[in-house]
């Protein structure tokens, strides 16, 4: 294992299949981090996939089942008592409470404004945008990140450039940096 710190993935990150796929592959050995989430997060992912992204229910159900099967250690439970009194938007209290309970060092979210630094600081937690986190992972071990992108490309029968262009819709600075470094930009 390369890293043993926990990173809590918000529903908006897990619902973004391309970003989630790359992040979860970075949890394979040698790991760059340990993922964490809750049943509430997975329920929110399911709702987002089916109601906003138009996924068929069977596909969204399968996605959740795969996360539960392949990442049983990621599931956080027993955090409800922590949610009361947290000074974040009521809809996000469960996220922060679960991250606190998991002893996560980072909450990955596209919604940084929902997790003010001053509220997270006493808990030793930082909120990061997935793009910033991926850039950090890339700077730590560019070969591993590029290898995982290559695996994704091979499984999808596409080239790395196509995978990075697709990722660029959600994490443009990361995709651009990798494309440039590979001489594809």
Residue 7's nearest CA partner among 145, 137, 118, 171 is: 137
User: Is residue 173 located within the same domain as residue 87?
Assistant: no
Asked whether residue 121 falls in the same domain as residue 139, the answer is no
| Span 111-165, pLDDT tens digits | 999 999 999 999 999 999 999 999 999 999 999 999 999 999 999 999 999 999 9
Residue 12, pLDDT above cutoff 60: yes
Q: Do 81 and 124 sit in the same domain of this protein?
A: yes
Looking at the chain, the number of H-run helices and the number of E-run strands are 11, 5
Domain of 170?
134-181
Q: How far is CA 130 from CA 11, 51, 126, in A?
A: 12, 23, 12
Within a domain: residue 1?
no
Q: Give how far the C-alpha of residue 134 lies from the chain's centroid of Cα atoms, to the nearest Å.
A: 10
E strands within 10-167? 34-38, 75-76, 106-108, 126-128
Residues 100, 82, single domain; the answer is: yes
Instruction: Give domain status of residue 94, yes or no.
Output: yes
The count of structural domains within the chain is 2
pLDDT the model gives residue 85: 82
Question: Alpha carbon of 176 to those of 53, 162, 180: distances in Å?
Answer: 25, 12, 6
| Residues 86 and 70 reside in one and the same domain | yes
pLDDT tier for residue 52 given thresholds of 50, 70 and 90: very high
Asked if 120 and 141 sit in the same domain, the reply is no
Whether 17 and 107 share a structural domain? yes
Please check whether residues 83 and 105 belong to one and the same domain.
yes
**Residue 154 within a domain:** yes
Full DSSP string of 164-180: HHHHTTT-HHHHHHHHH
Please give the pLDDT value at position 73.
95
Residue 96 maps to a domain: yes
- The whole-model pTM stands at 0.94
165 and 92 inside one domain = no
What pLDDT, on the 0 to 100 scale, is given for residue 1?
Answer: 36
Q: Kindly state whether residues 78 and 144 are assigned to the same domain.
A: no
CATH of the domain at 84: 3.40.50.1010
Alpha carbon distance 70, 35 (integer Å):
11
Which residue, 142, 116, 132, is CA-closest to 170? Answer: 132
Q: Which of the listed residues 112, 128, 144 is the one where a domain comes to its end?
A: 128
């Amino acid at each position: 294992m390369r890293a043993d710190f926990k990173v809590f993935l918000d529903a908006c990150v897990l619902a973004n299949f391309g970003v989630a796929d790359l992040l979860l592959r970075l949890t394979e050995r040698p790991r760059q981090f340990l993922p964490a989430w809750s049943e509430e997060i997975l329920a929110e992912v399911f709702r987002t996939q089916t109601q906003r992204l138009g996924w068929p229910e069977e596909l969204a159900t399968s996605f959740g089942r795969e996360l539960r099967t392949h990442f049983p250690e990621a599931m956080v439970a027993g955090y409800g008592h922590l949610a009361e009194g947290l000074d974040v938007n009521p809809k996000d209290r469960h996220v922060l409470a679960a991250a606190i309970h998991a002893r996560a060092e980072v909450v990955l979210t596209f919604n940084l404004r929902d997790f003010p630094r001053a509220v997270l600081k006493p808990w030793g937690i930082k909120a990061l945008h997935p793009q910033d986190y991926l850039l950090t992972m890339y700077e730590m071990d560019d070969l591993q990140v590029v290898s995982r992108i290559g695996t994704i490309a091979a499984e999808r029968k596409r080239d790395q450039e196509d995978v990075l262009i697709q990722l660029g819709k959600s994490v443009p600075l990361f995709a651009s940096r990798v494309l440039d470094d590979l001489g594809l930009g």
